[in-house]
Amino acid sequence: MEKIVVKVILEEGIKKPVYMTEGSAGMDVRANIKSSVTLKSLERKLIPTGIKMEIPIGYEVQVRPRSGLALKHGITLVNTPGTIDSDYRGEIGIIMINLSKDEFTIEPEERIAQLILNKVYQMDLIEDDLSETKRGNGGFGHTGK
């Protein structure tokens, strides 16, 4: 698998994100909190990671939920996938939300999300007539249940 070098700055004591298995697409990122943070039902909070990155131009890092937290606890991310642009140099924050009825507690250094590197292309938009298709402008549920 091809690897792309991404520079990082980690706050003191922060563990570098790692791939948990050889075939993992995403690196697990951890909560950089000093004490537990509780999410009430339908509550959302920005959780810091203590990580800054220099993503190469032409790439983005997507922030995605961890499937285990989603299935077992109803915990996901508000803007998923979130995008970290190549020109952003600030700390990565994870916007978490609790979709369950029960409170959920995030512990210090708990794995809370995945980071996935993706190639991106910028669009060059030109105004022109669009080609015709059978579907046309049919959207949202146009094919039925």
What integer pLDDT is reported at residue 27 of this predicted model? 97
Contacts of 5 by beta carbon, 8 Å cutoff, 6+ apart: 56
Give me the residue spans of the domains in the chain: 17-119
66 touches 28 (CB < 8 A): yes
- Average pLDDT score, the chain: 95
Q: Taking 80 as the threshold, does the pLDDT of residue 143 lie above it?
A: no
Q: Residue 11 CB: number of other CB atoms within 10 A?
A: 12
The stretch 50-61 carries a mean pLDDT of 98
Q: How confident is the model at residue 136 (pLDDT cuts 50, 70, 90)?
A: confident
Q: Taking 90 as the threshold, does the pLDDT of residue 88 lie above it?
A: yes
52 touches 89 (CB < 8 A): yes
CA distance 98 to 40: 7
CA 38 to chain centre: 20
Q: Is domain 17-119 given the CATH code 3.40.630.10 in the classification?
A: no
Q: Taking 90 as the threshold, does the pLDDT of residue 134 lie above it?
A: no
Q: For residue 77, what are the CA distances in angstroms to 22, 70, 126?
A: 25, 9, 34
